[in-house]
Amino acid sequence: MKSTPLQQQGAALRSPPTGAIPFADLSAMTQEVREEVDASFAQVLDTGRFIGGAAVARFEDQWAAYCGTTHAVAVANGTDAIQLVLRAMGIGPGDEVVVPTNTFVATAEAVVLAGAVPRFADVSPDTLLLTPATLEAALTPRTRAVIVVHLYGQMADMQAISGVAAAAGLALVEDAAQAHGGSWEGRPAGSWGRAGCFSFYPGKNLGAFGDAGAVVTDDADLADHIRSMRNHGRSDGSHHDHPVLGTNSRMDALQAVVLSAKLPRLDAWIAARRAAAARYEALLAGGPVRLVGRACGAGHAYHLLVARVPDRDRVRRDLAGAGVETGLHYPTPCHLMAPYRRYGAEPLPVAEHSAGQILSLPLFPHMTHDQVTAVCARLRELVPAEASSDVA
């Protein structure tokens, strides 16, 4: 008997060898939705509507409701989401967009692809998030927008940053690619700015079985503009009328049905992430390994659990030797990468210093207490107590 697409996906996400602790294990989440997704895949195969259609529209409605916004526009990936938002707002050549430098390169990449200039900003030494002060320090007369990155699943101080952006006349955009289910003062990620941009890459809190993304907004005109731009600039209801410059950034129906199946489970999965993170925090308390700080007011979604570790590279190698997989998010600030050095003349000391310390620890919804305990025990063995002074 031939395997179904979902069975093939499950095989690709097979658990690691017994005794090893993976950085992320998607297989258990896949199994929770397997029956529902298999049935939905069959429906899509029967209809033959693989791009857009009812499945995508249904997920758009569900995601807008979850984020507390009026509109959600499904696109091909999170990078496109940012680029399309900037272009739809008329931001391009001659304009600067403030971006925290310690982000995935896609944030800066999207700014350049839109024709604008990234203006890199430093971050808080505690949370590693953009702050009102670091935003203000990056402003110039050419600044038109700021992209606030909700790094690791934690939102920045959106109340204060919104005030700075409004006073400076900046468009406020949220890069919420790591913050599905996160909040600030109870208000969901994506609902604070003029637009919120999400990725549904498979490893995200809400992940597809491939690339996918979305823009959420309360601005109807902006939403309509992005809907046209994602579909080659077509006017609504026409196949041959292309009044604006667009691109091909449409979500597959197969990805939409996966996301719709997973969405009702998202809050429970985030609660499990938070429980595992709390256990890490308790077991590492008082030791030389420090977790990145939590901001008061942030509802942390714990897409990633990031620690500050002395002698990080050696510790990471030793953890790998002990069967503990880790990640790096991100070892090189954007302003130090070759394509972006011309945009980043000034030193950004907090991001530069922390980049050599940060280590992403294993974290996923179905992680067991024993797995968390084993990781923490190994960390305590590998990092001597006196090394704590090396962590800023």
Residue among 119, 144, 180, 204 flagged as catalytic: 204
Residue found under tokens 């025990």: 377
Under 8 Å between Cβ of 343 and 97: no
Neighbours of 121 (CB within 10 A): 27
Show the tokens assigned to 286: 């008082």
Where do the H-state alpha helices sit in the chain?
A: 5-12, 27-47, 54-67, 78-88, 105-113, 132-138, 158-168, 220-230, 253-262, 266-284, 312-321, 349-354, 369-382
Report DSSP letters for 321-349, one per residue.
HTTB--B-S-SS-GGGSGGGGGG--S--H
Residue 280 φ then ψ, to 5°: -55, -50
Cα distance between residue 301 and residue 270, in whole Å: 6
Residue found under tokens 């999170």: 78
2 is catalytic: no
- DSSP conformation class of 381: H
Cα distance between residue 84 and residue 50, in whole Å: 22
Show the tokens assigned to 377: 């025990």
**Residues carrying an active site annotation:** 204
